Copies of this chain bind each other. A is one copy, B any other.
């Protein structure tokens, strides 16, 4: 065998028509359940369809005017992260419920990759895009939005473009978390979080600061450790704080990576330290010293964003919306106490 043999290709409507001795239109009518086909004809055509294993080609179909791909694109930073996988599931289910398939792509927090993915998905003519932005400037989408592509941002707002967005109440959640620790009697509380360049991280720090401020406390810069992307870095940051001459009696962690790191750091210093973390996780109650978390409904986020996107695709022309999903404090363990 030389060269690449073409894969056995599927029968086309024309082949079915020839085999059944009818025109393509008749086959089309049978395939699409059009009632205006005589019963015997329908039966004969259907038999040929079954025999040949014919399946309508949606690619050709969606080329026709008025039709679309009926696909949404989901661009996400990392599907394997529990939060995002929950969102991905919710999006897939909501999309399917409304008649859309879903193409997914991971950016791994890489801005260039994000843009490549947007390109690829637009070329594939998705009807809409759900983006968990890796950050940066999204003004390149302006021309696409003008061309009628619908876009909804998820978790973080876009840069330099006006579009729909579904966010978590990062500020309020962090403030509640801070107040919880203060309520437990803590007066010196450290902050462990990821880079301030990430929208959620910055908002959460601000919310945490607000909690202190409204309680008449301040957050010395020496107790702020921003920039830990992973568990290892977060642990180091937490240990650093806890080994200060005048260490905090509690920590606030800005996301689940940092919560785990803080937890490990606390364990490493072997001293009871209060802890509140943003993001809930399974098994949170099974760990040795359960801590309080700021939780939110990731499933609801995915569903809300998808519904909004599909509404847009189906003609909703209202001004860009900003949906904020509330957080709730899930109190677990003692969250430590301030004094001995």
Specify the chain B residue showing the minimal Cβ separation from A60.
B63
CA distance A53 to B140 in the complex (A): 11
A92 touches B69 (CB 8 A): no
Interface segment out of the listed A1-9, A36-44, A156-164, A174-182: A1-9
A88 touches B92 (CB 8 A): no
A58 touches B287 (CB 8 A): no
Q: Which residues of B contact A120 (CB under 8 A)?
A: 101
A102-125 Cβ-contact flags toward B at 8 Å (1 or 0): 111110000000000001111111
Q: Which residues of B contact A56 (CB under 8 A)?
A: 123
Task: Report if A78 contacts B (CB, 8 A).
Answer: yes
Task: Report if A212 contacts B (CB, 8 A).
Answer: no
Task: Report if A48 contacts B (CB, 8 A).
Answer: no
Specify the chain B residue showing the minimal Cβ separation from A11.
B147
- Write the nearest CB–CB distance from A104 to chain B, whole angstroms: 6
A56-73 with Cβ < 8 A to chain B: 56-60, 62-63, 66, 69, 71
Q: Which residues of B contact A286 (CB under 8 A)?
A: 260, 263-264, 287-288
Instruction: Give the number of chain A interface residues (Cβ < 8 Å).
Output: 59
A86 touches B80 (CB 8 A): yes
Q: Which residues of B contact A88 (CB under 8 A)?
A: 79-80, 85, 88, 104
- Write the nearest CB–CB distance from A24 to chain B, whole angstroms: 16
Partner of A106, one of B80, B92, B146: B92
Are A79 and B82 also in contact (CB < 8 A) when A146-B53, A281-B283 are?
Answer: no
Are A78 and B89 also in contact (CB < 8 A) when A104-B104, A144-B53 are?
Answer: yes
A25-51 Cβ-contact flags toward B at 8 Å (1 or 0): 000000000000000000000000000
Are A57 and B125 also in contact (CB < 8 A) when A89-B79, A120-B101, A147-B8 are?
Answer: yes
Task: Report if A332 contacts B (CB, 8 A).
Answer: no
CA distance A101 to B123 in the complex (A): 12
Q: Which residues of B contact A106 (CB under 8 A)?
A: 89, 92-93
Specify the chain B residue showing the minimal Cβ separation from A8.
B148
B58 touches A123 (CB 8 A): yes
Task: Report if A55 contacts B (CB, 8 A).
Answer: yes
Partner of A146, one of B8, B58, B60, B264: B8
Specify the chain B residue showing the minimal Cβ separation from A150.
B7
Q: Which residues of B contact A121 (CB under 8 A)?
A: 101
The 10 closest A-B pairs by CB, nearest first: A7-B148, A85-B85, A80-B89, A8-B148, A53-B143, A58-B123, A288-B288, A286-B287, A79-B89, A80-B86
